Amino acid sequence: MTFALFLAACGSNNSAGGGQDNPAETAGSANTSSSGGDSAAGDKLTIAVVPKLVGIPYFNASEAGAVKAGEELGVNVIYTGPTQADAAQQVKVIEDLISKQVDAIAVAPNDAAALTPVLKKAKDAGILVMDWDTHADRSVVELSVNQIDNQMFGEHIIDRLVEHMGDSGEYAIVTGGLSASNLNTWIDFGQSYAKEKYPNLKLVTERIPSDEKQQVAYQKTLEILKAYPDLKGIAAYSTVAPLGAAQAVQEKGLQNTVAVVGTALPTDSGPFLEDGSLDVAVLWDPAKLGYLTVYLAKELLEGRAVTDGMDVPNVGKITVASDGITVVMGPPSDFTKDNYKDFDF
Amino acid sequence: MKWLNTKEGGIFLILIALSAVLAVRSPVFLTMENMIDMLKTNVVLAMMAIGMTLVIVIGGIDVSVGAMTALVSVLIGKWMVAFGYDLSVVLLMSVAGGAVLGAINGWLISKIRVHAIVVTLGTLSIYSGIAMYVTGGIWINNLPQAFIDFGRQNLFGIPMSGGTLAIPIQVLFLVLVAAATGYMLKHLRIGRMIYAVGGNPLSAERAGIRQDRVQLFVYTYMGFLSGLAAFVHTSIYRQVDPSAFTGFELQVIAAVVLGGANILGGSGSVTGTLLGVALLAVISNGLTLTHVPSFWHKVIIGLFIVTAVSFDIIQRKRRERRLAKIDVLQ
């Protein structure tokens, strides 16, 4: 899970519309946005949300969600983070927030262990400490906001695959890397689910690694399409692999013969979703995640408990694990030909 | 068949033997379609390996090739999104940009006399760092349609049973690069100087060859080819991933070494390197086609590299021993 976002963040893309105007500018400046009026520092709650880095589409989307929550819920939201995915810079950002005496800090750590001391310091200063998107040290956080449940996510991908290839036939798995633990978790959950629920699905070979590179996924997919001529579906994991797999299917004109389902970002997937070479991209919506983080911080600060099955406006029903700390936002989002343009990450 | 006794001939025989085995085990291996796919997915590797051959022949190394290619693809990607596509402008920008990056390597190595691996490790980090900074790690897409169309062109179609088979335009770049570099190494003064410097720097200097100039030329040429590779790569994948070439330098070097170049300098050829690339491509392709589980692929490729190189060195030592004996008798 720690890796999940990082992959998403790295593979993320400029938005179809205005995103092309020099991302270097946004990436280069320490980008801080706040909402709810700075003057009201008195009795209004101030919630700080710290991403891994600012200026990339994924975290811009979550920023929009967090700011929206601030406006709707009447709290100050400070969304600030390092300009690179760097733990040391993130520590500095959090130190600044401590001296500003914010009420809550929610952080997506670049390196969980490196942040533990500064998060302890924040806790000692009476600040509510949470993590979001990626786990921090369990002992210092009061709430951990997760985008998805790994098992649900793994099973969801298989369900989508079956929806597009049918519940019998040969399929293959292309993954980012054989040692990427988050990807392996999703694949493993998906595999045991597929064996039980869809016994007529046949995995033709071991998962095929693509080194997190589009060109490798493309090359490997060309090969498996020839090696297994009866192939009906490909499940591709990591934000890059589905694009390479879809490109191979596209160039061979097999859009209607071979279904491709994968964990890609909607803007990257556009060209492949359009002609059906990628049938559906499955991920989560970072804007919702930003919104949920601020919402839950406010709940805790105002002394209300976060409970399993509670209904969060704009997000839906959330689940809370039995440890009382781990919150899961809900089912993953499907990006298809019809809706991918609505997202800008 | 004298050629078969040369180093290149040996690699060629291995390639043929391997292909024969694969053809028996997989009916699709020898199809034209598979050959073209293999060619298309390896042109970038082949172009960069040709440049690396020169670097290795002069006894150098360049681990910044992947970073140079990544940076140039980011440069042309940004340019095209901002200013649109014009073949000559973008092509010129690719090769000039690459040549400048290569010249920086060459200058540091030849004039400041820092060891090549130190220089290029440094520039690897700098070039890929800049590519990351400029993009923020984000892919560049929305490349102009005209450029995408250019990348989809085919040179000519070969009529086949079940439709025509077309040669992708990217192959043309490889053919030109291979022919030009091969000619240069064999027939031009600079080519002979490259072998002289690599074979024995001292004698080369005594013969009046300026080692620093040869080095500067070779690293600049490597950059030039990395830039061209960036153009070709982008034309195939139509999106720019700033981290697409992380670790790619190792594949490039492996192909050159597999192609029979001596890592200590002095020998290596374009033909050998092309065979090395072909061998890598065939192994990787063949393993998937013959249903070998992916966990084994890297191990098998590594075994091939180690075996081929050890075999080559053992052969060379044998030859040298024979040579020494003759010397004594005389």
Q: Pick from B110, B66, B273, B41: which is nearest to B177 by CA?
A: B273
Measured between CB atoms, does A57 come within 8 Å of chain B? yes
Q: Which residues contact B297 (CB under 8 A, 6 or more apart)?
A: B284, B287, B288
ipTM surpassing 0.90? no
Measured between CB atoms, does B294 come within 8 Å of chain A? yes
Q: Pick from A337, A338, A153, A152: which is nearest to A246 by CA?
A: A337
Query: How confident is the model at residue A238, as a pLDDT?
Result: 87
Provide, as residue numbers in chain A, all residues whose Cβ is less than 8 Å from the Cβ of B239: 214, 243, 268
Q: A51: distance to nearest CA of chain B, Å? A: 14
**Model pTM?**
0.80
End-to-end CA separation in angstroms for chain A: 19
Q: Is there a contact between B289 and A26 if contact means CB atoms under 8 Å apart?
A: no
What domains lie within chain A, and their CATH numbers? 2-147+285-329 (3.40.50.2300), 150-283 (3.40.50.2300)
d(CA B315, CA B292): 31
Pairing verdict, β A143-146 and A104-107 = unpaired
d(CA B270, CA B48): 11
Handedness of CA B175, B181, B186, B189 (dihedral sign): positive
**Closest residue in chain A to residue B33, using alpha carbons only:** A226
Per-residue confidence of chain B (330 residues) as pLDDT tens digits? Answer: 677 777 788 889 889 999 999 999 988 898 888 999 999 999 999 999 999 999 999 999 999 999 999 999 999 999 999 999 999 999 999 999 999 999 999 999 999 999 999 999 999 999 999 998 898 778 888 899 999 999 988 887 666 655 567 889 999 999 999 999 999 999 999 999 999 999 998 999 999 999 999 999 999 999 999 999 999 999 999 989 988 998 899 999 999 999 989 888 899 999 999 999 999 999 999 999 988 888 888 899 889 888 877 877 787 788 777 766 555 554
Provide, as residue numbers in chain B, all residues whose Cβ is less than 8 Å from the Cβ of A213: 241, 243-244
Q: Which residue in this structure is represented by tokens 């374009």? A: B270
Structure tokens at A39: 């003057």
Give which of B138, B143, B284, B297 to mutate to test A binding, by max A Cβ within 10 Å: B138
Query: How confident is the model at residue A102, as a pLDDT?
Result: 96
Query: How confident is the model at residue B163, as a pLDDT?
Result: 57
Q: Pick from A261, A285, A225: which is nearest to A60 by CA?
A: A285
Q: Which of A10, A28, A208 sits opposite B243 (nearest CB)?
A: A10
Q: What is the largest CA-CA distance in chain A?
A: 68
Measured between CB atoms, does B293 come within 8 Å of chain A? yes
Q: For residue A274, how many other CB atoms are within 10 A of its CB?
A: 12
Secondary element (H or E) of residue B328: helix B297-329
